[in-house]
Amino acid sequence: MSDANPDPQNPDARNPDIMTDRFLPRLSRRLLLAGGAAALAAAAAACSPKAGKTVAAVSGAAGAVEKAQLTLGFIKLTDMAPLAIAKELGYFEDEGLSVALEAQANWKVLLDRVISGELDGAHMLAGQPLAATIGFGTKAEVITPFSMDLNGNGITVANKIWAQMKPHVPKMADGRPQHPISAAAMKPVVEAYRGRGEPFNMGMVFPVSTHNYYLRYWLAAGGLHPGFYSPDDVTGQTQAQVLLSVTPPPQMPATLEAGTILGYCVGEPWNQQAVFKGIGVPVITDDEIWTNNPEKVFGITKAFAEANPQTVKALVKALIRAGMWLDEGGGKNRMQAVQILSRPDYVGADPAVIANSMTGTFEYEKGDKRAIPDFNVFFRHFATYPYYSDAVWFLSQMRRWGQIAEDKSDGWYADTAKQVYRPDLYRAAAQALVDEGKAAKADFPWDTDGYKPVTSAFIDKIAYDGRKPNAYLQSQKIGLKAGQKVAGGKVVGA
């Protein structure tokens, strides 16, 4: 009976050696070189029905990482590109990692699955690790050792809103709109809606998203109130003139077309999709709101980082290399990246739509395509370094709009930033790449203390100093000030 075939549909099932040969994973040349014979032997053992082991043995034999098989999450946006490139170009494999990338339904599902351990890490909104750490929404210790990109978002309005805004927008000599376009051009449109008793609804992707904060910043700079959050109002619509609500990024164009919202702030390719579909007009990019603003991060739990330090180092090394490749040679690799991202398992949009912003241009009105070489930045300007000052800015906006209900000291902002943003982990990976000759010393900001220089490169020219968040909040015309909080539908306090 011992020679009986356990699977009549498979004549080879009785022979473990044949099974091992047939179904041995196709190890990459990089992984074989990294682990040599030991890696190959471990892989064979992992696949044998007698062994009961996993492919993780490959990495263990090579002595590289604590966890070789990883599942990482993302949302279908072009700024997930470092993950896709690290996988497709073999950078993960170079580090002894076997990575599966999984698209997630929305940002909440993504965060919950990282916290639960279903995902080992993910492409995240910069506000998500911060909000989780301070307990806004979900309480968990989530950190980031890597910033994924700069810029990459836009604000789009429906055609009918653009038609009403346009008379209030200054023009250049050739008749095209002068950019950047202030939200002041939309203020009379909003006032007309409110005068008729109609809500003016706009979409953003998540309450702690960069999109929420950049949209709010743009509206407030133009004299429009985007509303406050409070313990009694998690919608963030208290005192709002423009009502903001959550819509997942890929659903933005359809929600706009249906008339549920009149505009939105989202990452690419969903602004350009509105142009291609003829349903809306992008009126401003986030780079015009704040030049070289920080965008997504790579998020993992603190527990994962502590249990798997070599794995984290390997991940960051691979992601840094992906960012370098994406920005290499003035963007010479971008069209290849577009083809990869257009696949349904990644962004799943028409390559022409992705290329419209990914390759150094951006189209506002149909036919008004302009050169914006920094619309997507993945490595230049030290884009991947997790600066404390970036974290502090996002925390300041949480306080400005009531997500942080009470005043906090400047020291609290600094301490919270250091809990979440981990340049120490980034530096270890960067140094390894330099030692291996895969990156140059000059590629990284070794001398920084984690704070960027004071900047007023915002649409309203207000200066931001990451060391003085409370002074920054006091300088804003609209938003909570020292001693203020939202209670009973109004702002109370000093």
52 falls in which pLDDT band (50, 70, 90)? Answer: very low
Phi, psi (rounded to 5 degrees) for 421: -85, 125
- pLDDT at 271 (0 to 100): 98
Query: 85 or 11: which carries more pLDDT confidence?
Result: 85
Nearest to 152 by CA among 374, 320, 367: 374
- Tell me: pLDDT of 354 over 70: yes
**Rg (alpha carbons) of the chain, rounded to whole number:** 24
| Tens of pLDDT, residues 65-107 | 999 999 999 999 999 999 999 999 999 999 999 999 999 999 9
d(CA 95, CA 11): 37
- pLDDT at 64 (0 to 100): 87
| Tens of pLDDT, residues 212-258 | 999 999 999 999 999 999 999 999 999 999 999 999 999 999 999 99
Q: For the chain, list the domains and their CATH numbers.
A: 17-62 (no CATH), 69-151+294-472 (3.40.190.10), 153-287+486-493 (3.40.190.10)
Report, as an integer, the average pLDDT of 163-173.
98
- pLDDT at 17 (0 to 100): 35
| Tens of pLDDT, residues 417-458 | 999 999 999 999 999 999 999 999 999 999 999 999 999 999
| This prediction's pTM | 0.88
- pLDDT at 43 (0 to 100): 40
d(CA 292, CA 299): 21
- pLDDT at 57 (0 to 100): 37
- pLDDT at 145 (0 to 100): 98
Provide the residue type at 259 as one letter.
G
| Tens of pLDDT, residues 379-403 | 999 999 999 999 999 999 999 999 9
Nearest to 185 by CA among 155, 215, 158, 224: 224
Question: What three-state secondary structure class fits 378?
Answer: coil
- Tell me: pLDDT of 365 over 50: yes
- pLDDT at 171 (0 to 100): 97
- Tell me: pLDDT of 20 over 50: no
Report the chain's mean pLDDT, rounded to a whole number. Answer: 90
Distance of alpha carbon 341 from its chain centroid, rounded? 15
42 falls in which pLDDT band (50, 70, 90)? Answer: very low
122 falls in which pLDDT band (50, 70, 90)? Answer: very high
Under 8 Å CB-to-CB from 277, ≥6 apart: which residues?
Answer: 253, 257
**What are the tokens at 45?**
């053992």
- Tell me: pLDDT of 31 over 90: no
- pLDDT at 54 (0 to 100): 38
Stretch (H or E) spanning 362: strand 361-363
- pLDDT at 348 (0 to 100): 97
- Tell me: pLDDT of 45 over 50: no
44 falls in which pLDDT band (50, 70, 90)? Answer: very low
- pLDDT at 494 (0 to 100): 78
| Tens of pLDDT, residues 129-144 | 999 999 999 999 999 9
- Tell me: pLDDT of 193 over 90: yes
Give me the sign of the Cα torsion angle 17, 21, 23, 26: positive
Q: In 69-140, where does DSSP find H-type helix?
A: 81-88, 91-94, 107-116, 127-134
- Tell me: pLDDT of 53 over 50: no
Under 8 Å CB-to-CB from 244, ≥6 apart: which residues?
Answer: 201, 202, 203, 204, 212, 215, 216, 226, 227, 236, 237
- Tell me: pLDDT of 24 over 60: no
